[in-house]
A and B are shown apart, each in its own frame.
Chain A
Amino acid sequence: MKKLSSALVPACVLALASPLLLAWLPSGGEGGFLGSSLASLPPAYVASLVASFRQLAITLVATAAFAASIAVVLGYLCIFSPAVGRIVSSVLEAIESVPAILIALFCYAPVSGYLARHAEASSATVSLIVFILAATATTLPEAVRGLTIPLGELYYRKYSLSFRSYGFRKSRILRILMKTRTMRGAVSRSVAGILLKTLVLDTSFGFIIQLGFGSYGTPAHLSPGALIAANRDALFPGGDPVLFWLPAMAIAAISLGLVLALGERKESAE
């Protein structure tokens, strides 16, 4: 039963995350696979839908890669030098005490004016970088904690003495410990957590910016959240509710996939 569940969960996760993959199909645009599947919807809407999920996929992958690398380096540093660890912990604790949406708004909203004044290609890159930095700041505390606690436990409680008796240096012991199954699990849990938090932040932020700023807001940062906000009146009489619920359900499916992955990994860790 356990084996069946461990085989089913990755398949379910993959199926639920499929909106991110479908957006990248060569025929994903207008007139293509998605275009013909969603033929009843306005072509401009389908194009925005595909573009926003492509942007979301890029944001998720870039943020996960960047934040996870920093988290691994910081986690490693925290164990390598306890003094640095205390400083890092205090800084991250302070960041964690500020609501994530506030950090994203403060990092991003003032820059929107700059973005609107520059060419699309450069502003799209700046937009992505600013968002990745904001998302990294908000996801780091939990990710670093998720790595430092098991690494510290392995280092101080289990293996350190026996490794030291072989004359291994601290850095070598940590390198070996980072390759253990426990640490590989911790890293993948942290990545799943980063992805989930970034998804929530990106879509909520896109929704709020679109709701508050409208077209003045963030022309370069497409987000399914912004698409939902742009079609929010579709829920009222006379509108087509599909325009609202289609991206909303796709986001919910991706979140559910990540929630399942996180739940499964937590259970196997316990």
Chain B
Amino acid sequence: MRVAKFLLYELVLRGALFAALGTAALSALYLASIGAPPESYAETGRSFLLMLSGSPDFSAEHPGFSAGRIIASGAAVTLPLALASIIMLALVAFMGAALSTTADHLASEYGARAQSRLLIPLKLAACALAAIPLFVSFWALGKDYGNQAPFPLIAAATVLTGGLGWDATRFLVSDMRRQAESTNAMVFSTLGMPLGRLLPLPGTLSGYLLASSVPRFLPYLAGKVPAIIGGVTIAEIVFSFPGLGSALMDALLERNADLLVASVFMLLCLNAIVAFIVKTVLFLVYPRWYEKAV
């Protein structure tokens, strides 16, 4: 019953229904702003239904793309880039939080401030990277790689520049610091377990703190999915990848309502899919926290 409720809420309501309504709202906004005649709204709605049904009649007036091709471009470019970015974001936050909390522990328990001092330039570098706009880092990357830039490198640029990684690390560090003050964490730290300075692995102090913070970090991560999809869209446009971002720009440039509806719907669907994956992890691992977050 709980699983059915979860699927109904996350997959149907917040996934499919939200993507459909969001597409309808954005398309209506677009048609209104270009002063389209009333019959265009009905025509665009019909076209949207044809796309959903996978009909070959979809966008017959604009040959050169089909519903299948748009879905394939989303699946081949946008989705992997978004998933790679979110995994990278989690890894960066985990490493930053492990480094920071273990440095705090060493400084407060043993008076050893070497790690804290080492972290100062690292923090400054993270701040400076966060301030670099995404499109600048993408274009600088594109200068060397052209449109052959590897996905992991683009994902790293998406996370490290533009502030996503900085914000996620700050969120996790402040939560793990609060956990470190709890009695349980203090008792755990007396057991002589490894600190886990670089990665918060299970059985380490940072891993123990992370386990308490993850239920709050996962909803945070789910909330960052639209920002990641936005970053990926910019990357696709800058690197001229045949993904949804480029399709969207082409649609706006050519005033092709069919292509526009299809690419927006796919972007919102991918947004929902990535958020659904993160929330599924939360639901499976911490069901009570999921219910609290909802």
Give the B-binding residues of A (Cβ under 8 A): 94, 96-102, 105-107, 109-111, 113, 196, 200, 203-204, 207-208, 211-213, 216, 225, 228-229, 232, 235-236, 244, 248, 251-253, 255-256, 259-260, 263, 266, 270
Q: Of residues 78 to 129 in B, which have CB atoms within 8 Å of A's CB atoms? A: 127-128
Contact of B133 among A203, A212, A270 (CB under 8 A): A203
A204 to B133, CA, bound (A): 7
> Given A99-B229, A99-B267, A203-B133 in contact, is the A270-B139 Cβ separation under 8 Å?
no
A105 to B244, CA, bound (A): 14
A263 touches B170 (CB 8 A): yes
- CB neighbours (8 Å) of B162 from chain A are 200
> Given A208-B135, A208-B249, A236-B143 in contact, is the A255-B130 Cβ separation under 8 Å?
yes
Known: A203-B135, A255-B132. 19 other contacts (CB 8 A): A97-B275, A98-B26, A100-B230, A102-B264, A106-B29, A109-B252, A110-B30, A200-B162, A204-B135, A207-B135, A208-B249, A225-B135, A232-B139, A248-B136, A253-B131, A255-B131, A259-B127, A263-B127, A266-B174
**Helix, strand, loop or mixed for chain A's interface?**
helix
Q: Which of B135, B143, B227, B267 has the most CB of A within 10 A?
A: B135
Tell me, rounded to whole Å, the shortest Cβ–Cβ distance linking A105 to chain B: 7
- CB neighbours (8 Å) of A213 from chain B are 252-253
The proximity string for B residues 9-37 relative to A, scoring 1 for CB distances below 8 Å and 0 otherwise, is: 00000100010001000100110011000
Count of interface residues, chain B, beta-carbon cutoff 8 Å: 43
Q: Let me know if B134 is at the binding interface, CB within 8 A.
A: yes
- CB neighbours (8 Å) of B135 from chain A are 203-204, 207-208, 225, 228-229
B128 touches A99 (CB 8 A): no
- CB neighbours (8 Å) of A229 from chain B are 135
A214 to B30, CA, bound (A): 20
- CB neighbours (8 Å) of A96 from chain B are 223, 226
A252 to B140, CA, bound (A): 14
- CB neighbours (8 Å) of B132 from chain A are 248, 252, 255
The proximity string for B residues 234-274 relative to A, scoring 1 for CB distances below 8 Å and 0 otherwise, is: 10011000000000110011000000000010011001000
A213 to B234, CA, bound (A): 14
The 14 sampled A-B contact pairs (Cβ below 8 Å) are A97-B18, A98-B26, A98-B271, A99-B226, A99-B230, A102-B26, A110-B30, A110-B34, A196-B163, A216-B253, A232-B139, A255-B130, A259-B163, A270-B174
A259 to B161, CA, bound (A): 12
- CB neighbours (8 Å) of A263 from chain B are 127, 170
Tell me, rounded to whole Å, the shortest Cβ–Cβ distance linking B162 to chain A: 7
A216 to B255, CA, bound (A): 13
A212 touches B237 (CB 8 A): yes
Give the A-binding residues of B (Cβ under 8 A): 14, 18, 22, 26, 29-30, 33-34, 127-128, 130-136, 139-140, 143, 162-163, 166, 170, 174, 223, 226-227, 229-230, 233-234, 237-238, 248-249, 252-253, 264, 267-268, 271, 275
B136 touches A252 (CB 8 A): yes
- CB neighbours (8 Å) of B33 from chain A are 107, 110-111
A111 and chain B: residue at smallest CB distance: B33
B275 and chain A: residue at smallest CB distance: A97
B268 touches A107 (CB 8 A): no
Tell me, rounded to whole Å, the shortest Cβ–Cβ distance linking A224 to chain B: 9
A212 touches B253 (CB 8 A): yes
B223 touches A256 (CB 8 A): no
Tell me, rounded to whole Å, the shortest Cβ–Cβ distance linking A54 to chain B: 19
Tell me, rounded to whole Å, the shortest Cβ–Cβ distance linking B208 to chain A: 21
A255 to B163, CA, bound (A): 9
- CB neighbours (8 Å) of B248 from chain A are 102, 105
